[in-house]
Structure 1
Amino acid sequence: MRSCGPSLIKYVLFAFNVLFALSGLGILIAGSVVLADVNEFNHFVEGRVIAPPIVLIVTGLIIFLIASLGCFGAIKESPTLLLTYAVLLAVIFIIELAVGIAASVFKKDLEGMVKNSLQDSIKRSSSEDTMAWDNIQRKLMCCGVDTPADWRTMSANKTLPASCCRPQYVDATVGHCTESPALGRDKYFQEGCVGKLKDRIDKNAVILIGVGIGIAFIQILGIVLACYLATSIRHERAK
């Protein structure tokens, strides 16, 4: 190619795709971190909460492959490969935008969904439910759905589990709070788990929205560069 413009764009596009490939790995890592965090409390959340990070993980892998195609197309100066690359980028852009919008819309119904799930679980009080409650109450330092009193009014045995007790007050011999009334404010967690779990999921949603939409708009630059380079190459070859 004799023209300085297309040659410059070729190298810019190549450099862009190296960075784009790294961003794909970044999306993959972000999705994996969020998925691992959400999976800790999957007993209380629906599949809709787990779906967005899984989509981002898959998208990150696809982005890495597409970036490789973009680098190859730029080096080979192939209009067909470059336009294919641009179309694939546009498809990924739409997917990422849809995930971000879905996560934003889902946040509106999040608290009600989580609260219903927690209430149903505390009413069942099966061995599986008890294990899940022990996990969430110890890790999030909360007790009950809205307050510790929920265990007295909703659970099958009408008693607070040992996981509601603050760690420093646990009696190792009995595995429960030492000399404390059933709802003792000094030794039991007083915050309900619905707010804590919602905050945890909200923080993950912010990560997904930020990473997904942020990188999605960067892809627009890649689409423009690829289309411009493909058009320039065709014009050069038509001379």
Structure 2
Amino acid sequence: MMETCSSNFIKYVLFLFNLIFAISGLGLIIAGGVVYANVGEFSHFMEGRILAPPIVLIVAGSIIFIIAFLGCYGAIKESYYLLIAFALCLLLILIVELAVGIAAAVFKNDFETVMKDTLKSSMDKYLSNKADRMAWDHIQTELECCGIERADDWPKGQRPYSCCHALNPDDTPPDFNQCQNAQNVDPILYSTGCLEKLKMKTSSNASILIGVGIGIAFIEVIGIVLACWLATAIKKKE
């Protein structure tokens, strides 16, 4: 009698947990989507390894949302095999998330070098390639930056007009020649390099991914424990 009450309690707890788990899967999809939208507009300068974590979270969130229903069905039907399959799916997702997290941590040390090389390569093609030209004009206008580390990174006579801005909203914007002849410290030039702005942007989004990832990993561990516990109770009852 006590074992039956215990297994029923675990069953309904697991069912409730999976409803929460399905919602957390949606949370992962939303978080991954927001981060990808935030940095994806600068994908021209982003390596695949930088854009991979939010994509993995979107995929993982979609899978979690689907397998949450597997857990609910397995709990209600008291199916030993469905519950074990549910626990294994959760374990697999947890391993993938840990692998992505470790890879991101390792890549963090090389991030600045890789990003700098990408920016330099794209800068060299500014005049000859329309995609690079549009990407540079967009990032410098959007992030209010100029060059890789400073405005003088641009070759003489090739500094884009997107590096310059009016000192005040009511002022007349500088003309093209003023922009070309401005010195690195001239106030009409954006003073921060685009590398620094990209680092700040990716760092803030990485904090979001890390926080969400840790929270979901904790929920996954609880799900694995509950599923195995209920599966064991069902096996004993059989």
Structure 1 and Structure 2 fold alike (TM over 0.5): yes
What's the % identity of the aligned pairs? 53
Displacement after TM superposition at 1:78 (Å): 1.0
Q: Write the letter of the residue equivalent to 1:6.
A: S
Farther-moved stretch of structure 1 (204-213 vs 12-21): 204-213
> Matched residue pairs, number?
232
Aligned ranges 1:215-234 → 2 under 5 Å: 215-234=216-235
Displacement after TM superposition at 1:108 (Å): 1.3
What is the aligned partner in structure 2 of residue 81 from structure 1?
82
What is the aligned partner in structure 2 of residue 161 from structure 1?
160
Displacement after TM superposition at 1:122 (Å): 1.2
1:113-139 CA-to-partner distances (Å, cap 9, x unmatched) read 111111111122132212111111111
Displacement after TM superposition at 1:27 (Å): 0.5
Query: Is 2:188 the counterpart of 1:187?
Result: yes
Q: Distance in 2 between matches of 1:112 and 1:6?
A: 55
Is the 2:71–2:83 contact (alpha carbons within 8 Å) kept by the matching residues of 1?
yes
Q: Distance in 2 between matches of 1:138 and 1:95?
A: 37
1:58-89 CA-to-partner distances (Å, cap 9, x unmatched) read 11110011100000111111111111111111
**Per the alignment, in what secondary structure is the counterpart of residue 91 of structure 1?**
helix
Q: Write the letter of the residue equivalent to 1:223.
A: I
What is the aligned partner in structure 1 of residue 122 from structure 2?
121
What is the aligned partner in structure 1 of residue 140 from structure 2?
137
What is the aligned partner in structure 1 of residue 41 from structure 2?
40
Q: Distance in 2 between matches of 1:81 and 1:180?
A: 67
Is the 2:158–2:180 contact (alpha carbons within 8 Å) kept by the matching residues of 1?
no
What is the aligned partner in structure 2 of residue 151 from structure 1?
154
Structure 2 segments unaligned to the other structure (5+ residues): none
Change (3 A) 1:179 1:225: closer
1:176-229 CA-to-partner distances (Å, cap 9, x unmatched) read 586895225221101111111111112222222222233112211111111111
Q: Which runs of 4+ in 1 moved over 3 A?
A: 167-172, 174-181
Q: Distance in 1 between matches of 2:158 and 2:117?
A: 20
Displacement after TM superposition at 1:144 (Å): 0.5
Q: Write the letter of the residue equivalent to 1:131.
A: M
Displacement after TM superposition at 1:159 (Å): 3.3
Change (3 A) 1:31 1:222: same
Displacement after TM superposition at 1:163 (Å): 0.8
What is the aligned partner in structure 2 of residue 196 from structure 1?
197
Q: Distance in 2 between matches of 1:177 and 1:139?
A: 22
Q: Distance in 2 between matches of 1:80 and 1:179?
A: 69
Displacement after TM superposition at 1:152 (Å): 3.3
What is the aligned partner in structure 1 of residue 214 from structure 2?
213
Q: Write the letter of the residue equivalent to 1:119.
A: K
Is the 2:161–2:179 contact (alpha carbons within 8 Å) kept by the matching residues of 1?
no
Q: Distance in 1 between matches of 2:180 and 2:79?
A: 75
Q: Write the letter of the residue equivalent to 2:86.
A: Y
Q: Distance in 1 between matches of 2:207 and 2:24?
A: 17
Is the 1:38–1:201 contact (alpha carbons within 8 Å) kept by the matching residues of 2?
yes
**Per the alignment, in what secondary structure is the counterpart of residue 45 of structure 2?**
coil
Root-mean-square deviation over aligned CA pairs:
2.1
Is the 2:159–2:179 contact (alpha carbons within 8 Å) kept by the matching residues of 1?
no
Q: Distance in 2 between matches of 1:177 and 1:195?
A: 26
Aligned ranges 1:92-111 → 2 under 5 Å: 92-111=93-112
Is the 1:96–1:212 contact (alpha carbons within 8 Å) kept by the matching residues of 2?
yes
Farther-moved stretch of structure 1 (100-109 vs 86-95): 100-109
Q: Distance in 2 between matches of 1:182 and 1:188?
A: 7
